[in-house]
Amino acid sequence: MTAIIIDGKRVSSSIIQAVKSAAARLESEKNLRPGLAVVIVGDDPASHAYVKSKGRMASECGFNSIQHTLPRETTQGELSSLVAVLNQDKDVHGVLVQLPLPKHLNAEEIIQSILPHKDVDGLHVVNAGKVATGDLDGGLISCTPAGAMVLVRSIHGSDLSGLNAVVIGRSNLFGKPMSALLLAANATVTTAHSRSKDLPNICRNADILVAAVGRPEMVKAEWVTPGTTVIDVGINRVPSSEGKTRLVGDVAFAECAEHAGAITPVPGGVGPMTIAMLMANTVIAAYRAAG
């Protein structure tokens, strides 16, 4: 079997088109331009690259794109004060603090200080709690799991009744909300992780296998039952030939594509969906602010 390659770039560009139209309508009908503020602390090059592409995409969508770049030495108080200012700014509808923060800062306290209706990352306990309790319309859903679900639905439709889903990973940023979203779509869900016994055997039971462990190419072909939909959330940089590096996921793509029914590539699968869902959350937050 050769798998369908799920094209996250194509799916994400149709979401971006819809966001652009929604933003244009909001501006013409309510004279309101969605505002997204992204805060970055320190000089981690990967984080700066992510923030740059978020800013560029926000501008492309017609948003007011605001970036705050703070030095590594920023104190908890200074960062909290900035979040408080952004919380009160009526032109800012979405606030995102890029993670990870430098170690001396308490990231959890900062994330929880963002007003839930501006938390376009979907990480505030109010938004995470809504997802956990199956309220998928009232809050803001974490971007990477929301994007991964769009890709799952592109293969299986919106009702996953009778399907077994296995999520490897239990982080607050991805694994937990992903499991909750699959459950809300009626899948039978197993959340596995690094302490799970006999991971290959758990994965062989999956109709939908989602890998988010941060270990390059950990999921092997023998873990994938023929026909399974494989969603790879990993982004790992590994050495390649000639002293260069290349990006790989948590799934050994070439060999798993021989077994899977459908599979996401890295890059070009889940990655572009995260940024598209961030733009979607921002326009939703702006619409809600407009009343």
Catalytic residue ranges: 54, 98, 121
User: Of the ranges 82-90, 94-102, 112-120, 233-241, which one interacts with ligand GUN (CB under 6 A)?
Assistant: 94-102
Is 170 annotated as belonging to a binding site?
yes
Using CA atoms, how far apart are residues 92 and 283, in angstroms rounded to an integer?
Answer: 11
Binding status of residue 96 toward ligand GUN by CB under 6 A: yes
Binding status of residue 120 toward ligand GUN by CB under 6 A: no
User: Of the ranges 5-13, 95-103, 234-242, 259-267, which one interacts with ligand GUN (CB under 6 A)?
Assistant: 95-103
Using CA atoms, how far apart are residues 216 and 260, in angstroms rounded to an integer?
Answer: 18
Cβ proximity to ligand GUN: between 121 and 250 the closer is: 121
Question: Which residue is at the shortest CB distance from ligand GUN?
Answer: 99
Which of 144, 179, 264, 282 is close enough to bind ligand GUN by CB under 6 A? 144
Binding status of residue 143 toward ligand GUN by CB under 6 A: yes
- Please state the closest distance from residue 133 (CB atom) to ligand GUN, in A: 22
Which residue in 221, 230, 170, 224 sits closest to 202, CA to CA?
224
Which of 121, 207, 217, 250 is close enough to bind ligand GUN by CB under 6 A? 121
- Please state the closest distance from residue 141 (CB atom) to ligand GUN, in A: 12
Binding status of residue 99 toward ligand GUN by CB under 6 A: yes
- Interstrand relation of 245-248 and 236-239 (parallel, antiparallel or unpaired): antiparallel
Cβ proximity to ligand GUN: between 156 and 176 the closer is: 176
DSSP E strands, the chain = 4-5, 35-41, 64-70, 94-97, 164-168, 188-192, 208-211, 229-232, 236-239, 245-248, 262-263
Residue 117 has a CB neighbour count (10 Å cut-off) of 18
User: What's the Cα-to-Cα distance from 177 to each of 3, 110, 239, rounded to whole Å?
Assistant: 26, 20, 31
Residue 103 has a CB neighbour count (10 Å cut-off) of 8
Binding status of residue 12 toward ligand GUN by CB under 6 A: no
Interacting positions 246-275 with ligand GUN (CB under 6 A): 274
Binding status of residue 70 toward ligand GUN by CB under 6 A: no
Which residue in 32, 28, 22 sits closest to 291, CA to CA?
32
Using CA atoms, how far apart are residues 73 and 52, in angstroms rounded to an integer?
Answer: 21
Report residue 259 as tokens. 């077994």
- Binding-site residues, please? 169-171, 235
Residues that bind ligand GUN (CB under 6 A): 96-99, 121, 143-144, 274
- Binding-site residues for NADP(+), please? 169-171, 235
